[in-house]
Structures are given as structure tokens and as C-alpha cells.
Amino acid sequence: MNPELPRPSLALVVVTQALLGVLFLLGIGTVALLPAFSAQLAESLPEYAGLRPPLLALAIGFMVLALIVLAMIALLIDRIRRGTVLTRASLLWVDGIVAALACAVVLVITGVVVISNGQAGNPLLALIHLLTVLALVVLACITLVLRSLLRHAILLRSELDEVV
């Protein structure tokens, strides 16, 4: 760790980690409430009750992926605070985020297939699914661009260490 490298203030890191923690707890609460919520929907719309198990599994899977991404972001922020972000291990965390986003796209597309096979969708729901897939792909692309910047910074850092 080089104390001369610029790092974010401790207050900013603490606030960011606290907000990520709040989002993580909200995600866990959402996962806990999903079964009861889906049971109520199955009662109010009995013609679609057969879609409850697969859609519940997809929703829980989507939330678990979101929680995994939040944890990886928190770990990367901690690496930034400690000044150890410019190592190859950081690339693995970023790769994990991209993989989770790709899995989320697969889950959303699977949800579209399940809903269309159950003939339960409408055009607005299809638009929401399309926008969700588009947003996830854009986030993955942005993350990949930032990964390439991180990889370049790691290479520059290793060259600088060799010179020094």
C-alpha cells in the first residue's frame, strides 16, 4: 500500500458502505417477503397460479444475484480504501459483477418465456422486460469498459513498480 496514492475520504467510504449495507438488508427483506407476496397474487389471480413456482424462483434468483453484486461492489470499495485495488484480484471481482449481470439477463429472458408460455403477459410487461434487459446489458458494458481501465491501470502500476 502506497500512502501517496490518492484515495477517497474515509467519510465517503463509510457512507457508501453503509448505503450498500442498507440496500443489502432491503434485498434480504425482499427475498423473505417474496413467497408471501406471490401466494397473495396466486390467490387473487387463480388462473395464473401455475406460474407462481417458476416466477418465484426467478425472482429470488434475480434478487440473490443483486445481493451478490452489492457484496462485490462493497469488497471493491474496501480494496480502494486500503489502496489495494490495483491488483489482479480486483479484476476477478469485476468479472464476477459482469457474470452476475449476464446471469440476470438470462433470468429476465427466462421470465419472459415463462410468462409468454403461460399467456399471462401484456405489452407493457414486455416493454418492462425489454428495458430491464437493455439496462442490464448497458451496465455490463459499462462495467467491462471500467474493467479495461482497471486492467490498464494495473499494467501501468506494475511498470512503475519495476522502474522504481
For the chain (164 residues), the mean pLDDT of every run of 10, in chain order, is 71 96 98 95 87 95 97 95 90 96 97 90 90 98 96 90 79
How far out from the chain centre does Cα 40 lie? 27
For the chain, which residues make up each domain, given as ranges? 10-163
39 contacts: CB under 8 Å, gap ≥ 6: 52
Q: What is the pLDDT of residue 1?
A: 47
Q: DSSP code of 121?
A: -
* Cell reading at 142: 459499462
With residue 154 as reference, give the H or E element that holds it.
Answer: helix 123-163
